Amino acid sequence: MHFAVEPLSEDTLLLRFGERIDIDLNTQVHAAARRLRTVPLRGMVDIAPAYASILLRFDPAAWDDASDRPPHARVEQALRAALAHAPLPAAGSDDAGSRIVEIPVCYGGTYGPDLEALAAYAGMGSGEVVARHAADVYTVAMLGFAPGFPYLLGLNPALHMPRRTTPRTRVPAGSVAIGGAQTGIYPRELPGGWNLIGRTPLALFDPRHAPPCLLAPADRVRFRAISAEEFSALTERPW
């Protein structure tokens, strides 16, 4: 694997695998993150994958020794050794070991106020938008923006739509949305400028749970269309 290492602070390194949003590159990132979690790297605090990078936090004291080399240099050497022989995922390959999570979604109406506008933009009926959106399996590229917000790769190109020119000040929790070439889910009420096409009754973030996030990077997501009645029935259901 080819990557650059950039120190961000005394206890943080950033591993850069590229500079673009790409499913194959993101697959490499998750493969590297899994590898780093399985090797005995002392003092590791957090390994957080993103689109094309991994943020790694470590305890500098765990890397102190008698040499004059700073902890960053010793950690980088250990990282490169750990990843030197890691298998490189094939382009376009699926991760058979990833968890698949089904997300029920009530599309359109008050649950997805932008569905009709997106359908008009795409030149198709709203039913076809729903069918295409629910037909694919997506990859959680990363969590960001807010705790538990999944950025999902794998959206059908026919459903790509620019973000709204005027963001909403309040987007309901559970809103399923499309912004550019991505789809995502708002974990709680937040401001946002993505196009809202539906809503899930599932809670994506709850600090009382362990782990607090329903989804994790590298998870696979499949959407399932549900009725308003089923939405109401599932609203009070725990994870």
CATH of the domain at 46: 3.30.1360.40
Q: Is the pLDDT of residue 90 over 60?
A: no
57 occurs within a structural domain: yes
Q: What's the mean per-residue pLDDT of the chain?
A: 91
Q: Is the pLDDT of residue 233 over 70?
A: yes
Residues 131 and 25 in one domain: no
Residues 188 and 161 in one domain: yes
Residues 132 and 53 in one domain: no
Separation CA 232–CA 213 (nearest Å) = 22
Residues 108 and 207 in one domain: yes
Token pair 């700073």 is found at 70
Q: Please give the average per-residue pLDDT across 72-85, as a whole number.
A: 89
Separation CA 21–CA 47 (nearest Å) = 19
- Examine the fold and report which residue of 83, 111, 137 is the final residue of a domain before the chain moves on: 83
Residue 55 has a CB neighbour count (10 Å cut-off) of 14
Residues 10 and 126 in one domain: no
For residue 204, what are its two tokens? 């994506």
Domain that holds residue 108: 100-235
Structural domain tally of the chain? 2
Separation CA 122–CA 155 (nearest Å) = 13
95 occurs within a structural domain: no
How far out from the chain centre does Cα 199 lie? 18
Residues 111 and 67 in one domain: no
Q: What is each CA distance from 203 to 2, 105, 133, in whole angstroms? A: 37, 12, 20
For residue 95, what are its two tokens? 């991760």
pLDDT at position 135, please?
Answer: 97
Q: Is the pLDDT of residue 177 over 90?
A: yes
Quick one: pLDDT band at residue 86, thresholds 50, 70, 90?
low
pLDDT, tens only, 12-60: 999 999 999 999 999 999 999 999 999 888 899 999 999 999 999 999 9
Residues 51 and 126 in one domain: no
φ, ψ of residue 70 in degrees (nearest 5): -70, 160
Describe the strand order of the beta sheet including 53-58 as a list of residue ranges: 4-9, 12-16, 53-58, 44-49
Separation CA 138–CA 140 (nearest Å) = 7
78 occurs within a structural domain: yes
pLDDT at position 1, please?
Answer: 72
